[in-house]
């Protein structure tokens, strides 16, 4: 939390009295949600939090009663965050969940970049939602990346991938410069317009 503490203190000093948009990518969405409720008082939340936006953050645990609940990849962290910071828990703040719809998980022979992406997606989606053949951003399936709260605005971006590289055993594979992911300029235009 120390880096967020420093950034928040600097932003308050540089822009006193201005509400802020908090954005978290992937597990950074959990860290941000948790920080907002652990570190800020209710008074500070009201004074400084305009919006909370997550990009490709796996918010929901695997379905109860499935084998995947036995293999909690987060070691209880996701459950803790969801108990401490459930849904859109800061009154008056806009909550936005952004998730990509770029890759259907599938196990196949990784003879091409697309086949490798599908295989990586399958392996990632299966323990997150119990269905490796789901659609998502290549790391996070759509159904896991959307907070279950009717007050949350949900944005699903066709073609958006999780990150600017492809995770793989050993060194990750750098994506081409035109890779369409949450941080790519064209993709940012698909979600940043909702910031207050």
pLDDT digits (tens, 9 = 90+) for 87-103: 899 999 999 999 999 99
What pLDDT was estimated at residue 65? 81
Q: Calculate the average pLDDT of the chain.
A: 90
User: Regarding predicted confidence, which is higher, 43 or 109?
Assistant: 43
What pLDDT is recorded for position 164? 86
Q: What is the mean pLDDT of residues 79-84?
A: 88
Residues whose CB falls within 8 Å of the CB of residue 165, separated by 6 or more in sequence, listed in order: 172, 173, 174, 175
Neighbours of 122 (CB within 10 A): 19
Euclidean distance between CA atoms 78 and 81, whole angstroms? 5
Q: pLDDT-based confidence at 9, cuts 50/70/90?
A: very high
**With bands split at pLDDT 50, 70 and 90, how would you rate the model's confidence at 77?**
confident
User: Which pLDDT belongs to residue 56?
Assistant: 97
Does residue 149 register a pLDDT over 80? yes
* pLDDT tens digits along 153-163: 999 999 999 99
Angle ∠(113,117,119) on CA atoms, nearest 5: 115
Q: What is the pLDDT of residue 196?
A: 62
- pLDDT of 137 > 90? The answer is yes
Kindly tell me the sign of the dihedral angle through the C-alpha atoms of 143, 128, 72, 56: negative
Mean pLDDT of 57-76: 80
- List all residues 6 or more positions away from 103 whose beta carbon is below 8 Å from its beta carbon: 117, 118, 121, 135, 136, 137, 138, 161
């Amino acid at each position: 939390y120390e880096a967020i503490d420093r950034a928040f203190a600097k932003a308050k000093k540089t822009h006193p009295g201005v509400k802020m948009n908090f954005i978290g990518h992937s597990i950074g969405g959990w860290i941000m949600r948790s920080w907002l409720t652990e570190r800020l008082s209710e008074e500070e939340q009201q004074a400084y939090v305009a919006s909370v936006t997550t990009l490709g953050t796996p918010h929901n645990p695997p379905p109860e009663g499935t084998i995947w609940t036995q293999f909690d990849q987060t070691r209880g962290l996701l459950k803790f965050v969801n108990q401490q910071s459930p849904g859109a828990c800061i009154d008056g703040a806009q909550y936005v969940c952004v998730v990509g719809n770029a890759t259907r998980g599938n196990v196949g022979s990784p003879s091409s970049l697309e086949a490798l992406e599908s295989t990586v997606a399958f392996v990632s989606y299966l323990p997150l939602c119990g269905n490796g053949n789901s659609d998502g951003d290549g790391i996070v399936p759509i159904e896991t990346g959307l907070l279950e709260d009717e007050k949350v605005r949900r944005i699903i971006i066709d073609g958006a991938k999780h990150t600017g590289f492809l995770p793989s055993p050993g060194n990750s594979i750098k994506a081409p410069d035109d890779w369409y992911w949450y941080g790519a300029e064209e993709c940012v235009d698909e979600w940043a317009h909702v910031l207050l």
